[in-house]
Amino acid sequence: MPNTIIIGSGSYLPPKIIGREYFLDTTFYTDAGDHIDKPSADIIEKFVEITEIENRRYVEKGQFNSDIGLEAAKEAIYDAQIDPEELDYIIYASNFGEVSDLGHSNFMPTMAARVKNKLGIKNRKCITYDMIFGCPGWVEAMILANHLIKANTAKLILVIGAETLSKVTDPYDRNKMIFADGAGAVVVKATEQENVGIIAHNTICDNTIELTYLENAPSLNKNADQTPLYIRMQGRKIYEYALKNVPDAIKETLDMVELSIEDVDKVLLHQANAKMDHAMVDRLMRLYNKKEYDPAIAPMTIQEFGNSSVATIPTMFDMIIKDEMKGQKFKEKGNIVFASVGAGMNINAIVYRFP
């Protein structure tokens, strides 16, 4: 049975950097819809203290999800040194699709079909799928790619994660400062080499009371137009859910291949806020009775790039493998973990071994 290895990667970070001063003129409201009677600078300072997000990237007006997904895809294809006409599948992960400058989501045609068109691929047998799975979408797209390769229905797959969350945030919600734009992509290939690539994966879907932890909802400002829907997040509930479940899911995935955290070089986590990620890594280590560890095992980009949802992990992977993250490097033939949590609530994890 073939295995799935990454042979090329790419990413795109919009050059527009949004710092704290961008939000100074914002009027913020509570989740209950009440005006927060505090200076915006104080609210922003508290936000940075909790999340560590100092900057984030936004697309320009007129720049869309498929545009930045295309840039990451082109870089991944070039890095893989393949002919895009040979791709069997394109799988595109996002939450909101092609969002207009007015904040309207559009999934027809699919994001994957849009990028195939922009790449100029004529191959009618190159199949295009969209993966809508919350922030874990890119990891789940990788899991789907692995299934397709192991089923001998594909040999080359382009997997993209891209989002323009700046277009779908409530102007009056403090949480808008979390979200960002970006794109990451990889090309995966079937190999007969044994015990390499995606050696274990795990997905969990809790869709009962957790369903509303992350959803779309009208503006917190009841005097604003209540027609548009924006990202609405129950931060405390998500924090508690993630802290309880993500470390266990990672350990469960490592157990599948009889590995310990000692065997893992890097854990690439989706990043919603730094406080939550630090806590998840700490709890993961405690599952292995490790009270002290090198924090470099879990690289962080959220401080400068914000939460770009499905794009966070592939962007981080691309930066590390290309020596673009200071102090971070993958070990030859080492094991790494991809793990994410998001709307649904959904959790997934992959153990990946470099060939």
Does residue 260 sit in the same domain as residue 182?
A: no
Q: What is the pLDDT of residue 205?
A: 98
Please give the tally of structural domains in the chain: 2
Does residue 159 sit in the same domain as residue 290?
A: no
Residue 167 vs residues 60, 96, 99, 101: alpha-carbon distances, Å: 10, 10, 7, 7
- The residues that bridge with 9 in the sheet, in sequence order, are 186
- pLDDT tens, residue by residue, 60-117: 999 999 999 999 999 999 999 999 999 999 999 999 999 999 999 999 999 999 999 9
Give 294's Cβ-side CA count (13 Å radius). 11
Q: What is the pTM of this model?
A: 0.96
Residue 194 vs residues 44, 191, 251, 265, 353: alpha-carbon distances, Å: 50, 8, 23, 20, 11
Does residue 224 sit in the same domain as residue 278?
A: yes
Q: What is the pLDDT of residue 309?
A: 97
- The residues that bridge with 349 in the sheet, in sequence order, are 202, 339
95, 114, 97: which is closest to 105 by C-alpha? 97
Residues of the chain with pLDDT under 70: none
d(CA 105, CA 91): 18
Q: What angle do CA 343, 20, 35 make, to 5 degrees?
A: 70
Q: What is the pLDDT of residue 146?
A: 98
Residue length of the chain = 355
User: Which of residues 145, 179, 195 is at a domain's end?
Assistant: 195
Does residue 253 sit in the same domain as residue 190?
A: no
Q: What is the pLDDT of residue 188?
A: 98
Q: What is the pLDDT of residue 27?
A: 96
User: Which of residues 155, 175, 195 is at a domain's end?
Assistant: 195
- Domain housing 114: 3-195
Does residue 44 sit in the same domain as residue 77?
A: yes
User: Which of residues 164, 195, 226 is at a domain's end?
Assistant: 195
Q: What is the pLDDT of residue 175?
A: 95
Three-class secondary structure of residue 87 per DSSP? coil
Residue 345 structure tokens: 């609530």
Q: What is the CATH classification number for the domain harbouring 295?
A: 3.40.47.10
